[in-house]
């Protein structure tokens, strides 16, 4: 399996350093998955996308808040929008995690709302999909913004919510796209992440 994944970044003096969260690295290494990390440089990222062959999966991971106005944040946003378009055009399964889910929602016309007490906490979510064998699960949340039913993008179907009816997972009704607000890559057994992967690859 080969995956395209966008990169996070941190500022370093007058430049920036692109990186991938070590939780994703651990998952890829354990499952022996090849991945291509897209840099936050538009021309180079476009070249990597163009030269990529036999891509099975695309991931837009978490990171900084979606609409930060600094230059690098805007470049990352542009690259990730291109990834969504590439996923749709090539019919490649797409998973958006946390910030990635927020971007997918925005791409389909949805909006974000400010949420309280969702940083580094455990939250109970109610599952509405048969891929999970249980209807209630505790997850770790790391986000300042959320999505509710009235702000959900077009053709996105709710698959999980928290106690306050904030959407924790959705799936596109026609496209092979899933968004999750929690971080399944940070779970030690990767069980939920593998279930999501299987669902997306099965629908391919």
Region for 26 from its dihedrals, namely left if φ exceeds 0, alpha if ψ lies in -120 to 50, beta otherwise: alpha
The C-alpha atoms of residue 195 and residue 92 are separated, in whole angstroms, by 17
Confidence of residue 117 (pLDDT cuts 50, 70, 90): low
The C-alpha atoms of residue 177 and residue 129 are separated, in whole angstroms, by 15
Average pLDDT along the chain = 90
Q: Which CATH class is domain 2-202?
A: alpha beta
Counted residue by residue, the chain has a size of 204
pLDDT digit string (tens) for 139-168? 877 778 889 999 999 999 999 998 888 999
Task: Provide the pLDDT for residue 131.
Answer: 86
Local structure of 5: helix, strand or coil: strand
The C-alpha atoms of residue 70 and residue 61 are separated, in whole angstroms, by 19
Q: CA nearest 140: which of 80, 98, 182? A: 182
Q: Return the active site residues.
A: 98, 183, 185
């Amino acid at each position: 399996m080969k995956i395209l994944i966008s990169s996070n970044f941190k500022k370093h003096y007058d430049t920036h350093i692109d990186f991938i969260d070590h939780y994703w690295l651990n998952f890829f290494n354990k499952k022996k998955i090849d991945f291509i990390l897209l840099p936050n440089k538009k021309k180079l990222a476009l070249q990597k996308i163009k030269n990529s062959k036999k891509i099975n999966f695309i991931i837009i991971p978490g990171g900084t808040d979606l609409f930060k106005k600094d230059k690098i944040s805007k470049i990352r946003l542009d690259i990730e929008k291109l990834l969504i378009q590439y996923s749709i055009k090539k019919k490649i399964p797409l998973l958006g995690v946390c910030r990635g889910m927020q971007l997918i929602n925005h791409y389909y016309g949805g909006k974000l709302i400010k949420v309280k007490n969702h940083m580094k906490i455990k939250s109970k979510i109610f599952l509405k999909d048969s891929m999970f064998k249980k209807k209630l699960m505790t997850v770790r949340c790391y986000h300042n913004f959320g999505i509710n039913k009235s702000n959900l993008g077009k053709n996105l179907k709710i698959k999980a919510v928290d106690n306050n009816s904030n959407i924790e997972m959705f799936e596109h009704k026609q496209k092979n796209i899933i968004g999750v607000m929690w971080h399944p890559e940070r779970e030690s057994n990767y069980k939920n992440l593998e279930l999501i992967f299987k669902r997306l690859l099965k629908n391919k």
